[in-house]
Amino acid sequence: MDATKSVAAMTVHVERDGRVTIITLDRSERRNAIDHPTLLELLDAQREIASRAPSETRAVILTGAAPAFSAGADLNGVEEGQFTTDLQAVLRGFGALPVPVIAAIDGPALGAGTQLVIAADLRIATPSSQLGIPAARLGISIDHWTIRRLAQEFSPSVARAMLVGTENYSAERLHTLGGIHRLGDLSDAKEWAQRLARFAPLTVVAHKLGLETLGSEPDEDAAFESARRTAWASADADEGRTAFLEKRSANFTAT
């Protein structure tokens, strides 16, 4: 197995395992609370991954070092302004990556931690992990993107309970409701990501664009239509059909 560290920063570590890239939040002494330097490192990681996806990277895992996924924003010195601007850029950045992003949650994912979780395409968590956004206990407000995304990914009812009622939910409960796609740990996430890395990258790009622009008319979304046509016209589309007829695994090359 090819596992080589490509980036080692103070609070964010990026490793490659074949065609899977693993991003780990690592401020264990602060339960992986997100400060501004962490956001900048996440933006750097996203740019690095985008530069080699999907040719070298076909799937991404976002996780946190024990004992938490992320306890939220580090409120020491964090104020409305550049921090929130860069946080929003990070959240949207995961959606913009041309590969599937899995959030692997083990331990609390609160506040900004839950925001990172819902920014991912897919979610896997240990059953007792807790998710929630306790902004009302702190006298602050989250952005409209998070409110909309929370309602889309976890349901409007759960979003109301988290945002208005400041309720936390276990991953097991969210799995029952559909917000967490699988129950498992990081090793299960890695196995899942390796499977996703074998799928057609151009199809993933088109589908992610379609999901990120959900609510608009598909024929009005030029980026989605372009990505959809590219997938249909690609060598990968021919390879997928040929492999199906020949009853073998397809070898997708993103061309």
pLDDT tens-digit readout, 69-88: 999 998 875 666 889 999 99
Residues 159 and 211 both lie in one domain: no
Cβ proximity of 162 and 147 under 8 Å? no
Query: In terms of domains, do 53 and 129 share one?
Result: yes
| Contact between residue 106 and residue 62 where contact means Cβ atoms under 8 Å apart | no
Q: What is the dihedral of CA 116, 119, 121, 122, to 10 degrees?
A: 30
pLDDT given at position 5? 44
Total domain count for the chain?
Answer: 2
- Whether the full predicted model's pTM is greater than 0.85, yes or no, is yes
Domain shared by 124 and 107, yes or no: yes
Q: Look up the domain containing 227 and give its range.
A: 201-246
254: in domain: no
Residues 213, 98 share a domain: no
Q: Do 233 and 191 share a domain, yes or no?
A: no
Q: Is residue 216 part of a domain?
A: yes
pLDDT in tens, the chain (255 residues): 444 444 445 799 999 999 999 999 999 999 999 999 999 999 999 999 999 999 999 999 999 999 999 999 988 756 668 899 999 999 999 999 999 999 999 999 999 999 999 999 999 999 999 999 999 998 888 999 999 999 999 999 999 999 999 999 999 999 999 999 999 999 999 999 999 999 999 999 899 988 988 776 666 578 888 888 999 999 989 989 999 999 999 999 887
Per-residue model confidence (pLDDT) at position 233? 92
Same domain (yes/no): 132, 175: yes
Q: What are phi and psi of 135, to 5 degrees?
A: -60, -35
Q: Judge if 152 and 211 occupy the same domain.
A: no
Residue 222: its pLDDT value, please?
81
Q: What pLDDT is recorded for position 221?
A: 74
Are 206 and 186 within one domain? no
pLDDT score of 79: 62
| 208 and 111 co-located in one domain | no
Residues 29, 145 within the same domain: yes
pLDDT of residue 7: 44
pLDDT score at 254:
83
